[in-house]
């Protein structure tokens, strides 16, 4: 760690974990499709914040455009997350873990996108989708049942420095 502070990657993961926890909390509301607008705003805000960490200043509309560009293949999973809520009890638990996993994967995809821009490269949509797919798969397992035990491990600076808390 430098004297200036934590790296962009570490800061990104802290924000991603916080936003994933909020997404899980929102998605746990047992009303199908009721939380989609709030989750969308949350995820657009995450993309905008991550962009700032990478030196990209985006307004809300631009962040929404980036979100659409990097997350296009996940629409069916978002709809599935809402439909599962029709199963009382279990549906909300599954929806919460999926929302956390999707938000985490979205953050990973945004980091690849903005990292490419920071490095002077054109973002590669295939690389972004592969990153998101892998991150979503891993995060579904990580967030199964609860986001909070993972959040406890990620949020400590010593875990981030050692690499043991980022789960990546």
pLDDT tens across 62-109, in order?
777 777 777 766 676 777 778 888 888 888 888 888 899 999 999 999
Q: Compute the distance between CA of residue 56 and CA of residue 141 in angstroms, rounded to an integer.
A: 31
Residue 103 confidence (pLDDT): 93
How is residue 132 annotated by DSSP? H
Q: Phi-psi bin for 5: left (phi > 0), alpha (psi -120 to 50), beta?
A: left
Q: Compute the distance between CA of residue 136 and CA of residue 155 in angstroms, rounded to an integer.
A: 20
Please check the confidence at residue 34 and state whether its pLDDT lies above 80. Answer: yes
- Burial of 53 (C-beta count, 10 Å sphere; 0-12/13-18/19+): middle
User: Please, what sign has the CA dihedral across residues 33, 34, 39, 41?
Assistant: positive
The reply to whether the predicted model has a pTM over 0.95 is no
User: Please, what sign has the CA dihedral across residues 52, 158, 127, 64?
Assistant: negative
Q: Where exactly are the structural domains of the chain? A: 8-147
Structure tokens at 53: 């960490």
């Amino acid at each position: 760690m430098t004297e200036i502070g934590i790296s962009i990657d570490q800061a990104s993961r802290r924000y991603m974990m916080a936003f994933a926890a909020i997404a899980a909390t929102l998605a746990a509301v047992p009303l199908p499709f009721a939380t989609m607008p709030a989750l969308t705003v949350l995820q657009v805000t995450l993309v905008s914040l991550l962009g700032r960490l990478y030196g990209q200043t985006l307004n809300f509309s631009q962040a929404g455009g980036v979100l659409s560009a990097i997350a296009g293949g996940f629409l069916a999973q978002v709809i599935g997350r809402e439909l599962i809520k029709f199963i009382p009890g279990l549906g909300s638990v599954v929806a919460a873990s999926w929302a956390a996993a999707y938000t985490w994967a979205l953050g990973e995809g945004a980091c690849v996108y903005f990292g490419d821009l920071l490095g002077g490269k054109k973002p590669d949509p295939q690389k972004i989708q592969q990153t998101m797919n892998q991150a979503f798969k891993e995060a579904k397992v990580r967030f199964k049942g609860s986001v909070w035990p993972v959040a406890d491990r990620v949020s400590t600076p010593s875990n981030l420095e050692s690499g043991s808390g980022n789960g990546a």
